[in-house]
Amino acid sequence: MASESQLPPSRTPRRGLEAFASRDFRLYQLARVAGILGAEAQSVAVAWHVYAMTHRALDLGYTGLALFLPAIVFLLPAGHVADRFDRRKVILICYCLQLLCSATLLAITLAGVHSVWPIYAVLFTIGSGRAFSGPASSALIPHLVPEGQLVNAITWGGAIFQFANTAGPAVGGLLFTLPLAHLLPHHPGLTHEFTGAGIVYLFTLLAQIWFITLIANLHVRPGRMEHRAASLKVVFAGFQYVRSMPLLLGAFSLDLFVVLLGGAVALMPIFAQEILHTGPRGLGMLRAAPAVGAMITSLLLARFPLKRHAGRRLFIAVAVFGIVTIIFGLSRSLWLSLVALAISGAADMISVIVRGSLLQLATPPEMRGRVSAVNSLFLGASNEFGEFESGVTAQWWGAVRATVIGGIGSLCVAGLWAAFFPSLRQVDELSAEKLRAQAPTETEPQIAEP
């Protein structure tokens, strides 16, 4: 079983690049680029595909709901699986499942199916795979680098994630409108079938194959962290630990309500087509803009890390996120909308780095899978269920009003959480020694078993 720390590199890495001294970290991040590129491109294709069939905001919301529901259904077993089995193997199995799902989406397109329900069924299956791969992926990261380089690894992981988020939607929008008649002149039937969503789904398939290949070549073998069989005490330990740690509970729930209220990702097809009057390529630009801002911020923080006042900066970033969400909702200019979204991504990245550091550094190694599963539930509720919430509120009030009200709600949440969780607001240095000092005396509180 691989230990949490590895042998130091033969030469000192450049400042800000410490995590890249690990071969497995480099391979893992290359794999993530491929996986996220494919997933983000596919999400653009699915959103445009569904909206083109129904022209209803609520149906866009259902795509998020289909992805989110498995997080609730499989939350408890997913966390336990991540702690009990080899996390690398769990990730491989989950992505093989997603590979089959992308192949099914391609088959639906080639068959000319004009119903959204098969797409929702596939999205539910994709969400099921993500429910298990999310905690395993998060818990795998500390095995790839020494503990002293963990914050640097989290920061670079955020930068790489945002790079792929930047390119993924743009690639999806570009491929969706790619004129394949020039590429397949001798196969007019295939040209028709692969136009639009089909070519995007094919791209996602290839990206997922590359992801699986790279993960299979990792040297790290985390092995079993939790040796006890499943029981209520073991399975619920992640919930109990988060509940007993105000730092984690405050950080997770802050992100949940801010993104749930202020996220407008599900409504971007409406803004692209009906408000800003652009097409799929414009949609790709809108989806990519937050990632551009986030990527720039993460690159800066990798070179100049957050050394002091992390909690205070977290709440400032959340307030900025709410303000620019309001600006985006009121904007009628594509460029102003892109700038607002880029700033929102920059503010969100500060939250991501602080929250990710709290998760990894304040949690014992043997519980990271279960605590990551709890975090995945909060993330799913803020992202996928947030898309459903955005679709419902847009159906009631319209996309503009729903977005503006959501931005105002985010500002209110930031103020309330700063008062409710003073320990989070007062977090200063992001280090395991400082953060674990606030952990409960018992790692796993007692739970009455039947």
- Write the pLDDT tens digit of every residue in 81-99: 888 888 899 999 999 999 9
Kindly state the DSSP code that residue 148 receives in the 8-state scheme.
G
The verdict on residue 6 lying in a domain is no
The verdict on residue 315 lying in a domain is yes
CATH label of the domain that carries residue 412: 1.20.1250.20
Q: What's the pTM value of the predicted model, to 2 decimals?
A: 0.73
- Name residue, tokens 């607001």: 425
The contacts found for 19-25 with CB under 8 angstroms, 24 or more apart, are 19/144, 19/145, 19/149, 19/152, 19/153, 19/156, 20/156, 21/149, 22/144, 22/145, 22/149, 23/219, 24/143, 24/144, 24/218, 24/219, 24/220, 25/144, 25/145, 25/153
Higher pLDDT, 286 or 384: 286
Residue 40 has pLDDT above 80, yes or no: yes
Which run of H or of E encompasses 372? helix 368-397
The verdict on residue 251 lying in a domain is yes
- Look up the domain containing 277 and give its range: 18-220+233-436
Neighbours of 209 (CB within 10 A): 15
Average pLDDT over residues 198-216: 93
The verdict on residue 116 lying in a domain is yes
105-138 per-residue burial string, b: 16 or more CB within 10 A, e: under 16:
bbebbeeeeeebeebbebbbbbbbbbbbbbbbbb
- Write the pLDDT tens digit of every residue in 104-160: 999 988 888 888 899 999 999 999 999 899 889 988 888 898 877 888 898 888 888
- Total domains in the chain come to 1
The verdict on residue 54 lying in a domain is yes
Q: Which range in 283-287, 391-395, 410-414, 432-436 is most confidently predicted, on average pLDDT?
A: 410-414
User: What integer best gives the mean pLDDT of the chain?
Assistant: 81
The verdict on residue 379 lying in a domain is yes
- What is the distance between the alpha carbons of residues 267 and 387, in angstroms, rounded to a whole number? 8
The verdict on residue 214 lying in a domain is yes
**pLDDT value for 10:** 43
**pLDDT value for 53:** 83
Neighbours of 339 (CB within 10 A): 17
- What is the distance between the alpha carbons of residues 385 and 337, in angstroms, rounded to a whole number? 23
The verdict on residue 106 lying in a domain is yes
Ramachandran angles phi, psi of 403, nearest 5°: -70, -45
Is residue 324 a contact partner of residue 337, using CB atoms and an 8 Å limit? no
DSSP assignment of 27-78: HHHHHHHHHHHHHHHHHHHHHHHHHHHH--HHHHHHHHHHHHHHHHHTHHHH
Higher pLDDT, 429 or 294: 294
Higher pLDDT, 239 or 7: 239
Q: How confident is the model at residue 162 (pLDDT cuts 50, 70, 90)?
A: confident
**pLDDT value for 9:** 46
